[in-house]
Amino acid sequence: MSSSAKIDPDGSSMLLKASAKRLFESLMEQTPDRIYIKDKKSRFVAASQALVEMHGFKERHELEGLTDFDLFSHEHAQQAYDDEQEILRTEKPIINRVEKETWDDGSISWVTSSKAPLYLASGKLAGIIGISRDITAEREAQIKLAESENRLREQNEILRSDYQSAHKVQSVMIPGRVPHVNHVDIGYLWKPMTSVGGDIFSFPRNPSNCLLFFMGDVCGHGVTAAFYTVLIKYLTAHSAEVYTDNPQDFLNSVNHGLTGRLNEGFVTGLAGHFGARQKNGSRKLVLSHAGHRQVLVYRKAEKKCELIQLPGGTVMGIPGGSASPAKAIDLKVGDRFYAFTDGIVEASAPDGEEFGMERLIQCFEKHAGETVQETQQIIYETVAEHTQSESQQDDITLLAFELS
C-alpha cells in the first residue's frame, strides 16, 4: 500500500485540495468575520458576505472596485489607506490591531484588524489580504468598566477625604477638654480601628467641679459607631450639668437619652468621680458601670495590680436597663486606676489566643515606674506585638489616673 493511501485511505485530502477554491468561496460566504482582498491601490477585489452586508450591499461583487473612502469617514479611510501602503512598502503585516471605525453618520464601531501582504504564485506582491472582527460589544463593555472604575476611584477618594475629616473632628471631640487637677496625673490613649471609631471618653464639666470621667464603647466599628459617639458626647455633657456625685444616676440619665435612638446594638459605659483630697493625699474614687464591669487598680505599696469586678449593671440603649450601684474605692498616693475597652484584652494572636487580662496586669505591674501616659503607649505596642499585625482588630481606648 502506498504511503498516500495510508494517510488518506478514502481520498478525502485529494478532494479537499481539488476543491480549495470552492472551500474559500464557502468561507467567504459563511464566516461572520470581515475578510477582504485589496489591490495595490487599496481597492476591494474580493470580500466576505459579512463585510458586504455590513456596508449595506447584497452581492459581493457590488463592493469590488470601491475603497474605504467610499464607505467610511475620510479620517478613518485615510488611516486605513496609509496603513496598507506602509504594508506594501515594508511587506510587514499588522496583526490584531484594535481599530475605531467612524462612519459617515457619526456612529462608531470597534474591530480587531489584521492585514498582510498578498503574493501571487510567482512571488510577486499583488496587494493586501485582511480580516476584521467586530468587537464593539466587548469594547463598549471595557469602556463602561473603565468608566465605572474611574467613578469608583473618585468616590473612594471622596470617601477617604471624608474619613480624614471625620477623624480630625472626632480627635478634637475625644476627649475634648482634659482637666488639670492638682495631685492627679491623667494618661489616656484613643486608637480607633479605622479612621473613626465607636470608643469614647470625656471629662464632663459638673456643678461640683469634681474630676468626673466617662468611658463608653459603642457596639460596632467605623462610621456608624462614630456617629453615635457624637450623640453620647452631647448626652454626657447634658447629664453632667445636674451631676449629684452619683455616677449611677449619671449613667442612667445618659441611657435615657440613648434608649430608642440606637437602630441596633448597645453601648457599654463606665463613669466615676474623684472625691476631695485628704490630708494624707488619699482620695475616694466612686464608680458605676453599664456593661463595663472590669477595672484595675495598681497598689503602689504592694506593687500589685488588683482586678476589681464592679456590681452588676446592664448596657445602655436597651429599655428598662440600669447602671450598677455606685461603688467607692480608696486610693492612696502612688496608686493608679486603669479603665480600658475590650479591644485590648480581646486582641488575638494569629493562633487565636487573646491578649487577656493576665497579660494586661503583668504589663501594668512591669511598667509601674513609667508615667501613666508612657504606660498607655507601652501597652498599645505590646498588644500590637501580640497580634503580629499592623492593623487593629477593634477600637482601643485606655484611661489612667495616678494620685501624686
Alpha carbon distance, N-terminus to C-terminus of the chain: 112
Q: What is the edge-to-edge ordering of all strands in the sheet holding 304-309? A: 184-191, 396-403, 336-340, 294-299, 304-309
pLDDT in tens, 263-310: 778 999 999 999 999 999 999 999 999 999 999 999 999 999 999 999
pLDDT score at 169:
83
Report which of residues 315 and 163 the model is more confident about: 315
Give me the residue spans of the domains in the chain. 31-134, 137-173, 175-403
CB contact set of 165 (below 8 Å; sequence gap of 6+): none
Please tell me the pTM assigned to this model.
Answer: 0.67
What is the rounded CA–CA span in Å between residue 329 and residue 388? 36
pLDDT at 13: 55
* Bigger pLDDT: 164 vs 380: 380
**Rounded Cα–Cα distance for residues 5 and 355 (Å):** 81
- 245 close to 208: Cβ distance less than 8 angstroms: yes
Written as one letter, the residue type at 71 is: L
Choices 3.90.45.10, 3.90.660.10, 3.30.450.20, 3.50.50.60: CATH for 31-134: 3.30.450.20
pLDDT at residue 135 tops 80: yes
Distance CA 221, CA 269 (A): 16
Question: Among 249-253, 319-323, 368-372, which is the least confidently predicted range?
Answer: 319-323
pLDDT digit string, tens, across residues 218-229: 988 788 888 899
* CATH number for the domain running over 175-403: 3.60.40.10
pLDDT reported for residue 32? 87
pLDDT digits (tens, 9 = 90+) for 334-358: 999 999 999 999 999 999 999 999 9
Average pLDDT over residues 249-265: 90
Does 10 score more than 60 pLDDT?
Answer: no
